[in-house]
Structure 1
Amino acid sequence: MLLFVFLATVALWGVLRMYRERQRLQKIAARFDGPKPHWLLGNLPLFPANDIPGIFEMMVKLHEQYGQDLFNWGLLNDHMVIVSSATNVEKVAMAKKTEKSQIYEFIKPWLGQGLLISSGEKWFHRRKIITPTFHFKILENFATVFNREVEVLVEKLSPYAKSGRKFDIYEPVSLYALDSICETSMGVAIDAQLHPENQYVRDVKRMSELVLLRIFHVLSSFPQLYWYTMPNAWEQRKLIGRLHAFTDSVIQSRRQQLVSAVPSKGGEQMSEADEDNPSDKQRKTFLDLLLNVTVDGQPLSDADIREEVDTFMFEGHDTTTSGIAFTFYQLAKHPEIQERLYQEIQDVLGADFRTVPLTYNTLQNFPYLDMVIKESLRLLPPVSFIGRRLVEDLEINGVTVPAGTDFTIPIYVIHRNPAVYPDPERFDPERFSDDNTQRRGPYDYIPFSIGSRNCIGQRYALMEMKITVVKMLAHYRILPGENMPQVRLKTDLVLRPDKGIPIKIQRRSYPKPHWLLGNVMEYPANDIPGIFETMVALHEQYGQDLFNWGLLNDHMIIVSSATNVEKVVMAKKTEKSSFYDFIELWLGKGLLISSGEKWFHRRKIITPTFHFKILESFVHVFNQEAEILIEKLRQHANTGREFDIYEPISLYALDSICVTSMGVEIDAQRHPENQYVRDVKRMSELILLRIFHVLSSFPKTYWYTMPNAWEQRKLIRRLHAFTDSVIQKRRQQLKGKADNVANIQDVQEDEELYTKRKDTFLDLLLNVRVDGNSLSDLDIREEVDTFMFEGHDTTTSGIAFTFYQLAKHPEIQERLYQEIQDVLGADFRSVPLTYSTLQNFPYLDMVVKESLRLLPPVSFIGRRLVEDIEMNGVTIPAGTDFTIPIYVIHRNPAVYPDPERFDPERFSENNTQRRGPYDYIPFSIGSRNCIGQRYALLEMKVAIVRMVSFYRILPGDTMHEIRLKTDLVLRPDKAIPIKLAARP
């Protein structure tokens, strides 16, 4: 009975004591936000059991829901204060006396009293011993190891580049980081990358998970009970045994290496390390320091050494792995940032950027790399939270928080403060420009903790990260795996992906040429869309500027970087490149192909035809022909059936150019069986097949032996016959009107002479005199052939592709429809469009420009050097052919973020001003730019305004299957299937 009374009294006393403590804590808790606790289990039920990503997500959610500073209850009176406001973080981090919080106790059986966990004098002495290991002079030596190990990483990843398969980047980076830290800090090569079955990596990962599960377990406040009763604890003991065995093997291996070494300083052991004088220890590793150091005349014990090695292996391997892998994750998601960084790598390291060794000093010359790394560590800090325990009382939120209270500082949450980082989930390296950095406080960015207990190895980690990122980007383009958006995060001791980071990689170096056939075999024979897709894929895989080999020494340089494009197009002397020679039998030496004096004189003759005063009269024709188009398409409206819009647009463009530029009506829209359209299309295909044929360098052999050449000759005869008929028809119309332009004596006369006339392009050619002589019939035909092809086929693609985009983006189409009504008023369907009226459609202008960006009708242009030029640090000789892939330039993610997205706002005034002159060149650039670009834009705009006024353009059922091809003009391989709905 007395025993019962005694036990009851003790129990009652315990309950009363807990109750009073609870009341005291509730007064403190009242000063903080947080969820209402269960009376016994506190807030533990909020955290999902055994769901590690779920635990992390709940930690973040509580801050989103309740604010920056929270009071979190555990079992009974167990509690923790979580602070992320800069004011309170400063108070905790800068308190005169703090220790690591209780959560670190759960790591102690593994890491012992190493630098991470120790406190007081022991921590102070260990910190002083270890600090010199990270002096920059010693770090310089580590760069050699990082360079060597990352080369192994690059090589080990090459099978993925060849296969195109996705893989988890986290695992190989983890092995790389383990190799690096073992060699730099332990002096031992374990070759984990060459033997990827390494158990240590898996054990560290599982150990971290078990520690987190223990932190949020209901028995977290009863360590002994947990340790001896929970299955997770039994597994933990096995892991600790293996982890310690691994560390012991590393230490033993290094001891054996040092057995025969002559001790430094005449056989004396090192005294306590001096941070300011590391020079005599530069060749020694972190482990060497521990094995040789004395404290108060005594060497460190085996247990002392192991706990520091365990701590350093974990902190220096696992955190760096996450930092590197998450940076690759961000670069895969943001190709525009990746390409800008790749450009910086080339700019800093020069032509040998793939092979030049990186040094500590070299890495200081990468400002954008530094910004990228910092932003990655902001969004996904490997150490996502840190803990501190007060040793003295602290005033916070107007209340005294007693000594012994545990604080958690959630770095992940701090780095997402929208008041400091607007749109915090967006990856934006510019946040770390000098100007932006200066606006932030010291507690707004703390990826390596802060205060006296900050990360001792942060310079080591940053150097390893930077070398890895530079070397990887120098060799590979990093692409997202199919399910990369589904990456789920978890934090145990380190923030990491729950399942992995799936990426793909592509080599940046150009494919090795065949000794005879060069790179010709890369292109699929007789597959015109496949040829185009290969051209684009080569840029996606190998970068902006490529060297392409043909047969034997035949070659071509393909440049899309703005710097090199400028060098080519602005070279003092250039001609059209060799692939234009394949068009010469059809177009002759017209304006497209001619060079030198002939090109100069022809350009001067033709330019006045496109004076805006003459263009004004053309708009009337475009209106008339567009009305016919609208009427011809009425049969498709409201039927629900899809049809190919490309064909009727082609006939509209042909009618328009024949009337405006030739003065001849051929009524192609009313007679849609027109052979000319089909012949131009097939001729263009045959020319492309010839360009990529193995006999492209042997024109006569090709011309007389290949079936495609025989077909080409037939087509040329028909095309020339059509042109001759147009010319003859106009001659007859002008017969008896010889005085119409007879007074044109020389091409040197003032262009006003031409702009006052109503003569067409063909009239000008028929009547002009050069040096007193008329143009020959051949001269006239080659200019007419050139103009008919360039002015009909390219405009067809431009208009049809714009309808394609409007069908895919109804919200943009409706905004454009609204602009049409706003500008033209109630009679918007019938009011004639004029040159002046079309200047009042800003959104239409943006839509057309964005369509020409995404799908430029002329997808590549060619130039041949007449003089040597300097490029990429080497002299390119005269005679070299260059190709400028406009389609690729317009998809540069560094200029056009999310480049495949159709977004007319890219061409708002503000956005346009941010781009350079070589970032948008749908009509080419330089002296040989398209002479008829204003003509083309007028024709496109009239057709679009008229179509959108009458019809709602809808996607056809098979529109998503469109495949592109480029012969001489970019066009759909099969069709652009749309539907039409008549507007009320």
Structure 2
Amino acid sequence: MPALPVISPITLDSYLGWPHMHYVFVVLCVFVVVYKLTILLAKRREALRNFQAFPGPPPHWLFGHVLEFKQDGTDMDKVVKWGQEYSYVFPIWFGPFLSIIIVQHPDYAKTILTSSEPKDDFAYRFVEGWIGNGLLVSEGQKWFRQRRLLTPGFHYDVLKPYVKLMSESAETMLDKWESYASTNEPFELFKHMSLMTLDSIMKCAFSCYSNCQTEGGTNAYIKAVYDLSFLIDLRLRMFPYHSDLIFHLSPHGFRYRKARQVALSHTEEVIRKRQEALKEEKELGQIQAKRYLDFLDILLFARDENQQGLSDEDMRAEVDTFMFEGHDTTASGLSFILYCLACNPEHQKICRKEIMEALHDKETMEWEDLSKIPYTTMCIKEALRLYPPVPGISRKTTKTVTFCDGRTVPAGSVVGIGVFGIHRNASVWENPNVFDPLRFLPENIAKRSPHAFVPFSAGPRFVLT
């Protein structure tokens, strides 16, 4: 009987042919890249076609207008100049594929701000990992519900006690400044302002006395908030970090995740302890009879028409949103108010006299005194006009939007409201770069569009978000 041939087992390597599989993988990658590139090129052609009615500064074919921004303190002025050249509505390109229509006139801004168009999801997605789906980034019915539940937290009766708390924080900051008064040496103002506003928000939001102005470097939560704010801003400015994968693998991504965990754990612990402390309380009035209400009290007792409150996740998102939105922008606004008064000592002198008269031998301002300082209020508004804490906001259109001159932008377009540009629009403001508080006399306000001054936005997203 003839011997049977020996049959060797077919190895995976010989069956699949790994060298051949490498070629298949390369071809697949090339196909994906070409496919993605084709889609992006189609979007670019569509954007160029849609924006033909909006002339603007000529972009570089690859970098767009990115190279025009030197980050030397003149970028905002450059955009204002472009607005003057291109009728206050023009496209800016960030690379070859991303374009934004910039609006720098109140009549065009009104069209967007009075609509229900959602916020642009490009920039805001970077903060969502920390603050969750809170009032800043939510939209639709969730946003309407959250805003309705949070609005009572900003009632005058709730805010009045905060004046004393903020005065205490300001006094702590001024005590620190005493050490600089005798040296005649300059110092960085914003850092002090930022700690002061953070201290105020911690008291008003959590009833938490963190001592962050004197111990800012040792408080883990305070450090985490600063790290997160810095890293989110860094990610927005660095194009490679727009990729979730690249940012996740980077040292900055590791630092972000570590800081986020500290911040989230702190907020969750604060909420848990407050829930435990208020377990026996049934009404806000019972708490208010014992002490002032803070933001967390409002969140815990908020109920909608179905008597449903906020989930723990929603409460955490709103507290973190309040922390993120509140301290940095407030510090920026206050810093520039003092800068404007320092540059215009004649107005500073009037404000000082007015405030001293309102104080009338008292140490600090009270709620009732705020109506007694109209000139100071006008100076504050003029500083916010020249240096808005949020120089621009954006919306993404869900339908075709028609501007006041008949020009349209299609659904899916990103429209940027250039708050800085609107506030320095020479067709709206006479001598726009001059500090002139009298612009805000009642008779002068009546002559302008209500959308000519929008440091806190306008329309449905006004004030809160």
TM-score between both structures, scaled by the size of structure 1: 0.39
Per the alignment, residue 132 of structure 2 pairs with 588
Mapped contact 2:271–2:316 kept (Cα < 8 A)? no
SS in structure 2 of the partner of residue 547 of structure 1: strand
Tell me the CA shift for residue 791 of structure 1. 1.2
Give the match for residue 462 of structure 2.
929
Choose 541-550 or 653-662, whichever is displaced more.
Answer: 541-550
Tell me which residue corresponds to 1:705.
Answer: 246
Residue 755 to residue 732, structure 1, CA distance change in 2 (3 Å)? closer
2:161 to 617, 624, 627: 617
| Higher share of residues assigned strand | 1
Equivalent residue for 2:449? Answer: 916
Q: 2:270 corresponds to which letter in structure 1?
A: K
| Identical amino acids, percent of aligned pairs | 32
Q: Work out the CA distance in 1 between the residues paired with 2:85 and 2:201.
A: 40
Alignment equivalent of 1:661, drawn from 205, 215, 221: 205
Corresponding residue of 1:783: 318
SS of match in other structure, 2:416: strand
- Aligned residue runs from structure 1 range 90-169, under 5 A: none
Show the counterpart of 2:297.
Answer: 763
The structure-2 alpha-carbon separation of the partners of 1:921 and 1:581, relative to structure 1 and needing over 3 Å to count, comes to same
Find the partner of 1:568 among 99, 104, 112: 112
- TM-score w.r.t. length of structure 2: 0.79
Q: Among residues 217, 230, 234, which one is paired with 1:682 in the alignment?
A: 230
Gaps of 5+ in 1: 1-350, 354-507, 745-751, 933-984
Identify the residue that residue 856 of structure 1 maps to in structure 2. 388
> 1:629·1:652 contact (CA, 8 Å) conserved in 2?
yes
Write the mapping of 1:392-411 to structure 2, written as runs, cut at 5 A: none
Tell me which amino acid in the other structure corresponds to 1:722. Answer: A
| Partner residue, 2:365 | 833
Describe the shift of the 1:761–1:882 C-alpha distance in structure 2 as closer, same or farther (beyond 3 A).
Answer: same
Q: Deviations over 1:650-672 (max 9, x none)?
A: 11101100101221111111213
The CA distance in 1 between the partners of 2:310 and 2:286, in whole Å, is 19
Alpha-carbon distance in 2 for matches of 1:921, 1:876: 22
Tell me which residue corresponds to 1:239. Answer: none
Structure 2 distance, partners of 1:708, 1:800, is 36
Q: Which whole-Å deviations, capped at 9, do the CAs of 1:78-129 have from their partners, x for residues lacking one?
A: xxxxxxxxxxxxxxxxxxxxxxxxxxxxxxxxxxxxxxxxxxxxxxxxxxxx
Cα 1:676–1:894 change in 2 (3 A) is same
Provide Cα deviations, 1:427-475, integer angstroms capped at 9, x if missing partner: xxxxxxxxxxxxxxxxxxxxxxxxxxxxxxxxxxxxxxxxxxxxxxxxx
How many pairs were matched up?
408
CA RMSD, aligned part only?
A: 3.0
The structure that is helix-richer by fraction is 2
Amino acid at match of 2:265: D
1:593-637, Cα deviation, whole Å (9 max, x unpaired): 110011011101111100011111111111211221221211111
Contact (CA 8 Å) 1:577, 1:862: kept in 2 or not? no
1:513 to 55, 59, 74: 59
CA distance in 2, matches of 1:352, 1:772: 51
Provide closer, same or farther for how the CA distance between residues 632 and 516 of structure 1 changes in structure 2, counting only shifts above 3 A.
Answer: closer
Q: Per-residue deviation at 1:645? A: 1.4
Shift of 1:887: 0.8
Aligned partner letter, 1:780: M
- Paired residues of 1:611 and 1:755 also in contact (CA < 8 A): no
Structure 2: unaligned runs, 5 residues or longer: 1-50
Please give the secondary structure, in 2, of the residue aligned with 1:643. Answer: coil
- State the secondary structure of the residue aligned to 1:563: helix
Deviations 1:825-870 (A, max 9, x none): 2x14x2x422111111111101100110111101111111122211
**1:738 and 2:279 aligned:** yes
Mapped pair 1:797 → 2:332: yes
Distance 2:72 2:310 in 1: 37
- The C-alpha deviation readout for 1:389-434, integer Å capped at 9, x for no partner, is xxxxxxxxxxxxxxxxxxxxxxxxxxxxxxxxxxxxxxxxxxxxxx
**Do the aligned partners of residues 883 and 622 (structure 1) sit closer, same or farther apart at CA in structure 2, a change above 3 Å counting?**
same
SS of aligned partner of 1:711 = helix
- 2:30 aligns with none
Partner residue in 2 for 1:900 = 433
Are residues 629 and 561 of structure 1, via their aligned partners in 2, closer, same or farther at CA, if it must alter by over 3 Å? same
Q: 1:717 aligns with which of 245, 258, 261?
A: 258
Structure 1 residues 631, 551: closer, same or farther in 2, change over 3 A?
closer
CA contact (8 A) 1:547 1:556 kept: yes
8 A contact 1:528–1:685 mirrored in 2 = no
Please identify the structure whose Cα radius of gyration is greater.
1
**Per-residue deviation at 1:787?**
0.4
Distance 1:642 1:923 in 2: 31
Change (3 A) 1:901 1:530: closer
* Inter-partner Cα distance in structure 2 for 1:554 and 1:712: 24
**CA deviation map 1:519-549 (0-9, x unaligned):** 344445xx48565565445435544111123
Q: Secondary structure at the match of 1:899?
A: coil
Report the secondary structure of 2:280's partner residue: helix
Q: How far apart in 2 are the matches of 1:639 and 1:516?
A: 51
Q: Is the 8 A contact 2:378 2:441 kept in 1?
A: yes
Provide the rounded CA distance (Å) in 1 between the counterparts of 2:74 and 2:91. 20
The question of whether the paired residues in 1 share the 8 Å contact of 2:386 and 2:423 is answered with: yes
- Which of 347, 351, 363 lines up with 1:812 in the alignment? 347
SS at match of 1:670: helix
- Aligned-partner SS, 2:415: strand
Give the SS at the match of 1:927: helix
- 1:166-187 residue CA offsets vs partner (Å, 9 max, x unmatched): xxxxxxxxxxxxxxxxxxxxxx
Counterpart of 1:556? 100
* SS of alignment partner, residue 581 of structure 1: helix
